[in-house]
Amino acid sequence: MTAKCGGVRLVQMRHSLASPPRQEEPALPRYFLSGQAVEVVRLPPGLHIVATPIGNLSDITLRALAALAGADLIACEDTRVTRKLLDRYGITTPLTPYHDHNAATARPKLLRRLAEGAAVALVSDAGTPLISDPGFKLVRAAHEAGNAVSTLPGASAPLAALAVAGLPTDEFFFAGFLPPKQAARRARIAELARIPATLVLFETGPRLATTLADLAAGLGDREAALCRELTKLHEEVRRGSLVSLAQGCAAGEVRGEIVLVIAPPRAPEQAGADDAETLLRQALARTSLKDAVGEVAAATGLPRRALYQRALALAKEADDGTPR
């Protein structure tokens, strides 16, 4: 009995002298690269704008992988698209949709998470967020609420197209998507004609041929590059004039993600009388004489007075059928 009691006491004593059971520390977040697990530290609280690949998933940066793995939540346009990227690298961070159609209701929820001290990563379907997507409103609201906002740069379709197009890059203007309806598109092109810089546009396959035709009519036959499926298996860059590119696309629909890069208007000394007359004829066929003169003056830099006189002559020629 005593031995038994002593045995119990001994066991109790051993338990009382032993160190308490160690509690396992929570596992660090991780991603997988070439089959190897890479542990990362958790992201600090705030909104983290993370660029993702525009096509080739290998274009992700190491810093972006660490951020996506270390975030508490990833806000993305389409969870199915972003899930493919996360699965490729073994990242299990929860996803929540944030896009044009749900931004008004999703934004307050994300701001609430930020106020609670969460680290939220913002991504788009491809490339750098805020380029033709609704992210800027979330970034602005996060700043206004006093949250930390940081950026992790990476792939960007406009910059990739500029790099490969072989056109001037010292000044460029990104115009996103042109309006889908032709009247509005032509009006927008007339505005863009006045910009003395290389133009960068997004376009869809079904609208590409008509857009190129409208661009040729509104900007003149400028040099351009059609960049398709950049970084992907079927990457293609077609270079030529806007007219030749429009003709090449007229036969059938061009598929894939498309970026158009268009050379700036030529300097006045480069624009000859023949060029101006061609542009005037094209412009007069679709707009008023006054607007046609303004359009061509912006595109060529030639004096309005001289262009106006030539436009009057061309308009009279069209009315009476007498060549001049």
Instruction: Dump pLDDT digits (tens) for 120-134.
Output: 999 999 999 988 777
- Domain termination site, one of 133, 155, 177: 155
Confidence of residue 284 (pLDDT cuts 50, 70, 90): confident
Domain containing 182 equals 158-262
Residue 97 Cα distances to 106, 173, 222, angstroms = 8, 30, 40
Number of domains in the chain: 3
pTM, full prediction: 0.75
CATH of the domain at 135: 3.40.1010.10
DSSP letter, residue 48: E
For residue range 160-170, what is the model confidence (pLDDT) as tens digits?
999 999 999 99
Do 110 and 148 fall within a single domain? Answer: yes
Question: What pLDDT score does 12 carry?
Answer: 42
Do 253 and 166 fall within a single domain? Answer: yes
Least Cα distance to 138 among 126, 153, 124, 157 occurs for 124
pLDDT reading at 14 higher than 60: no
pLDDT reading at 8 higher than 80: no
What is the separation, in whole angstroms, between the first and last Cα of the chain?
Answer: 129
For residue range 17-43, what is the model confidence (pLDDT) as tens digits?
455 555 566 688 999 999 999 999 999
Least trusted range by pLDDT, from 46-50, 183-187, 191-195, 318-322: 318-322
